[in-house]
Amino acid sequence: MTLTETEPRKARLTKKARQERILAEMRASATLRVGDLATDLSVSTETIRRDLYELQEQGLINRTYGGATRPFGAEPSVSERHGQMVPEREAIAAVAVKFIQPNEVIAIGAGATTTHVARRMAAECRDLTVITHSFSVATVLAPNPTIEIIMCPGRYNGREGMMVGAETIEFLQSYNINRAVLGVSGITPEGLADAEAPAAWVYKAMMNRASETMVVADHSKFDVQALAIWARVPDIARLVTDREPKGATSRALDRARVEVSVAGGK
């Protein structure tokens, strides 16, 4: 009896089950590769491409060269994101605060990763002025009495816990900012984008008022397209992340001479 005869064959998934697995993976990691899916699901790359085509036709994914991403605007709410990628975000925050100096004026955008950065700032930094439109950022900074918090006015977005709108942007024009600390929904060679257009315009205003912009983002944001582009890659000075970017995004960062700091050196 041969080895192949003694080993049980791996059951092949039905198309429906396979596509459900693809969607589950998409919810977990935001961006997928054809080759990885083919290996994981024990099918050909042509089968995966057909699956991705059908899922795109249903509006459930966006196909990309070599894979797929979540549909535009499909990012979970900030309350959901706070429970995701926690070790990665904590590691990113620990690296990001090393670039913040006493007596700086810092603008911090809304988001789960920026809230981790703000929490670490409260523990390690002192003598800062922080301008933010995020209630979670303001809340975690509040225990540090040496950090002055300036809250932006505007229209309240309850899903993201932030202020947005024309009043927010106009308010930011009144300040000189040393450093903007901003998160993203996605980074591609085309630029940095957010799933919430009103938030994107606030981030752009913060970036434009800052001498330097530092983006904090975990690896699941690489090669992900989101609705509203608020910056081109050369507009930012530094990216703090948990893994080295690869492919076209990595090349775009290199061309723009963006400093990439990897938490943990992975």
We report the CATH number of the domain holding residue 158 as 3.40.50.1360
Q: Are residues 162 and 236 in the same domain?
A: yes
Listed residue (57, 65, 51) closest to 23, CA to CA: 51
Q: Are residues 87 and 148 in the same domain?
A: yes
Two tokens, residue 165 = 């709108």
Q: Are residues 35 and 139 in the same domain?
A: no
Indicate which CATH number applies to the domain containing 49: 1.10.10.10
Tens-digit pLDDT profile for residues 34-54: 988 999 899 999 999 999 988
CB atoms within 10 A of CB 54: 14
136 backbone dihedrals φ, ψ, rounded to 5° = -70, -40
Query: 101 is in which domain, residue-wise?
Result: 78-265
Q: Are residues 90 and 123 in the same domain?
A: yes
Q: pTM of the full predicted structure?
A: 0.73
Tens-digit pLDDT profile for residues 157-214: 988 899 999 999 999 999 999 999 999 999 999 999 998 899 999 999 999 999 999 9
Which residues, other chains included, contact 109 with Cβ-Cβ below 8 Å and sequence gap of 6+?
A: 132, 133, 134, 180, 181, 182, 183, 199, 202, 203, 206
Q: Are residues 135 and 172 in the same domain?
A: yes
CB atoms within 10 A of CB 114: 26
- pLDDT band, very low/low/confident/very high, at 5 (cuts 50, 70, 90): very low
Q: Are residues 26 and 137 in the same domain?
A: no
Listed residue (244, 246, 184) closest to 214, CA to CA: 184
Number of independent structural domains in the chain = 2
